[in-house]
Amino acid sequence: MSQLLRKPQQNEVSEGVTVVQDVNSENSQLEYVGVKVVDLAPGRSYKESLSNTECCIVALTGKISVSDSEQVFENLGTRESVFEKKPTDSVYVSNDRSFEVTAVTQARVVLCYSHSSKSLPTKLIKADDNGIENRGKYSNKRLVHNILPDSDPCANSLLVVEVYTESGNWSSYPPHKHDQDNLPHESFLEETYYHEMNPRQGFVFQRVYTDDRSIDETMAAENGDVVVVPAGYHPVGVPDGYESYYLNVMAGPTRTWKFHNEPAHEWILNRK
C-alpha cells in the first residue's frame, strides 16, 4: 500500500465537523509540513490551539468566519467549487495563538501547518491579494493562485499555492524537486498535494521519485486525495476530458522555493 497517497476519511469529530484529511509528522514521513481538510455544516465550528505551529486557513469552498480570539474575519470565501477558478480568502495565524472557524454555509477548509516559533501578526489574505500566474505552453499549461508565496514575509515557514492544470496537460513538469538544503541552487521543502478533479470521477497520475529511486511511486490520485512529497520530483499528468486542481503546502528549514529541474527533461522548457 502506498505510503504517499492518502484517501479521504469521514472522521466526524463533533456534530457537523468532519475531518477529511489529516497528514502530520506523526502519521507521515513529513517533519515540516502538515495539512488538514475539514468539512463544516452551516453554523458549526472547528477550534484549535496552535503551540509550536503556524497555520494558514484556506476557505476552499463555501463561506466561513475565522477568529484568532482577538480579531474576527467574517464571510470569507468566494466560491462554491474550486473549479470556478476564482482565488479565495485565507487567514494566516501564528504559533501560540488559537483560532476558530465557523461555517456560514456548508464549507470545506484546508488548514496548512508548519513548525514555527516566532510570533507574527494574524493576517487576512484576501482573494484579491493572491498573485495569479499563467505558466507553461503546449501541453504544460496551468493557472496558479499564489496564496502564501515566499515573497510575502507574513509567515515563518509556510508556503501555500493553488494550481489548475488543463485537461490533457501536465504540471509540476518538467519534473522538479526541492529536496536539498543547498541555497542558492536548491531549497529543501517538503510538500503536500490536496487534489480535486472536474468532473469529480476523474483522476490524475502523480509520480514521486528521487534521483537514487529510494522513493519511486506512481499514483492515481482521485478527488479529495492527498499526495505526500517528502522528497523528490513530483510531476502530475491529467487525462483528456478532466481538469485538475491541487493545493500545495510547502515548508522546510528556509522559506524559499528554489527548485531544481531534472536535467534529462529540462529541454521541454526550451522548445520554440
Give the binding site for ligand LN3RO5KU (CB under 6 A).
135, 142, 144, 161, 163, 171-172, 191, 234, 248, 259
- Compute how many other C-beta atoms are within 10 angstroms of the C-beta atom of residue 70: 8
CB of 134 to ligand LN3RO5KU, least distance (A): 10
Amino acid at 218: T
Nearest Cα to 189, choosing from 94, 272, 125, 256? 256
Q: Which is nearer to ligand LN3RO5KU, 62 or 136 (CB)?
A: 136
Residue 59 backbone dihedrals phi, psi, to 5 degrees: -80, 85
Question: Which residue lies nearer to ligand LN3RO5KU by CB, 22 or 191?
Answer: 191
Q: Which is nearer to ligand LN3RO5KU, 20 or 161 (CB)?
A: 161
Taking the least distance from each CB to ligand LN3RO5KU, the nearer of 111 and 163 is 163
**Number of Cα atoms under 13 Å in the Cβ half of residue 59:** 30
Query: Residue 77 or 235: which CB sits closer to ligand LN3RO5KU?
Result: 235
The smaller minimum CB distance to ligand LN3RO5KU, of residues 38 and 236, is found at 236
Contact 205, 262 (CB under 8 A): no
Q: Are 258 and 184 in contact (CB under 8 A)?
A: yes
3-state helix/strand/coil string of 164-211: EECCCCEECCCCEECEEEECCCEEECEEEEEEEEECCCCEEEEEEECC
CB distance 187 to 95 below 8 Å: no
**Distance in Å, CB of 63 to ligand LN3RO5KU, minimum:** 26
Grid cell for residue 121: 501578526
Tell me if 170 sits within 8 A of 140, measured CB to CB: yes
Least gap, CB of 214 to ligand LN3RO5KU (angstroms): 20
What is the smallest separation between the CB atom of 136 and ligand LN3RO5KU, expressed in angstroms? Answer: 7
Rounded to the nearest whole angstrom, what is the least distance from the CB of residue 109 to ligand LN3RO5KU in the complex? Answer: 20
Q: Which residue is nearest to ligand LN3RO5KU (CB)?
A: 171
Minimal distance, residue 116 CB to ligand LN3RO5KU, in Å: 20
